[in-house]
Amino acid sequence: MSETLYPLHLDLAGRRVLVVGAGRVAERRVVGLVDAGADVVVVAPEATARLRTMAEAGVICWRERAFDYSDLLGAWLVHAATDDPTVNSRVAEEAARRRVWAVRADVAGSARTPAVATADTITVSVTSGDPGRTQVIRDSIALGLQDGTLTSRAHRRRPGGSVVLIGGGPGDGDLITVRGRRALLSADVVVHDRLAPTDLLAILDPDVEVIDAGKSPNAHALSQDEINALIVERAQRGLRVARLKGGDPFVLGRGSEEVLACADAGIPVEVVPGVTSAVAAPAAAGIPVTHRGLATGFVVVTGHELGDLEPFARTELTLVVLMGVGRLPELVTTLSALGRPASTPVAIVERAYADDQRTTIGTLESIVESASRVGVTNPAVIVVGDVVAVPVLAAARTAVAGLVEQGAA
């Protein structure tokens, strides 16, 4: 018949805890007890180097001798952690006689120390009759709390609201960071853009307010000023606001404007970076933005404001253009006038990491016609430079390797 245990967390701050034994197991127990603020007394003839150091520093009291019944005086809790079952039994029996809870390191005592998972302000304790099973469950819970697969949103309001800007990555919900997912699931209000990983909205609690800010080319549901005012107003109500964006908030995402708006209003704000589509979209197509011998760096510009591209027309730099499909002819004309060869490779990656991702490859001379023929649309990332040829080279090498293997066979 299995035991029925009553789960309980103890406030040990300032309360005496006796630890009998000073080996490795006892050391782990002592460290945890000290972290909990307990007044720790260790009784043992010998001690580990770490426990000796803690005793010398006055962090714990070490009685350098064998256990005596008098050691139990004033103790609220006892840990019997020696390598001698007889001693552990004596300690536990005397503790029970004095009505003091006792934990044994070798077998079950009147109290048990659970496997513990912590995240933020959450502490979860797990116990079972199988230590291995207990640890597996504890580790699964800890991982779920850390990566956001277990919702840990607080329902008891803390004083004061806050804003967190979350970079959602290139669009697929699996590509948001662990911290970003956790922050999203902790929010009371989510304000999202069109290119954010909106599939994650389905896992929010039903009472979370979700606001679509739009932000599609030339058709914004809310202006930037309205978004700034909205997130500040919700935070001033004491709510936790998540501003979910595509890519990275600080890469052509106007995240800095929203941070300044919060700062001006005295609202605490955090920025959780995301994977920018300037790097992720080319990667989805197998295109690196740098490659030894081809590109020593890369430059990211917005297609909305191409501006002066002369500093970026150097052939050793890869040029990445976000939101530039509508101005592709102007981009090509400008780069050609600045001396980029007509044979310069160009790729347009549409809907990176989506099921219908598509890559159109050409040159400065041909890309406008190619894009028009296949009907390229946003969201898309334009890549200009010799790195566009890397996937082609890789495919060619793979084909050659296959022919060599066939010949060897």
Catalytically active residues, by annotation: 193, 215
Length of the chain: 409
Report H helices in 265-382: 277-284, 328-337, 367-374
Residue located via tokens 């099973």: 133
Q: 383 pairs with which residues across the strands?
A: 320, 347
Measured at the CA of 19, the angle between CA 94 and CA 103, to 5 degrees, comes to 60
Residue type, 335: L
Q: Which of 54, 185, 46 is nearest to 122 (CA)?
A: 185
For 373-409, give the DSSP string: HHT--SSEEEEESGGGGHHHHHHHHHHHHHHHHHHH-
Peptide bond just before 159 cis, omega within 30 deg: no
Asked if 290 and 364 touch (Cβ cutoff 8 Å), the reply is no
Residue located via tokens 């080996």: 23
- The CA–CA distances, whole Å, from 118 to 37, 181, 235 equal 17, 17, 27
Q: Which of 325, 330, 326, 366 is nearest to 345 (CA)?
A: 366
What helix, strand, coil percent values describe the chain, rounded to 5? 35, 25, 40
Q: How far apart are CA 29 and CA 81, in angstroms?
A: 9
φ and ψ at residue 307, rounded to 5 degrees: 60, -150
Tokens found for residue 192: 């999202």
Q: How far apart are CA 90 and CA 46, in angstroms?
A: 19
Q: How far apart are CA 378 and CA 333, in angstroms?
A: 20
Q: How far apart are CA 94 and CA 62, in angstroms?
A: 20
Q: What is the DSSP code (8-state) at residue 200?
A: G
Q: How far apart are CA 263 and CA 235, in angstroms?
A: 12
Q: What is the DSSP code (8-state) at residue 114?
A: P
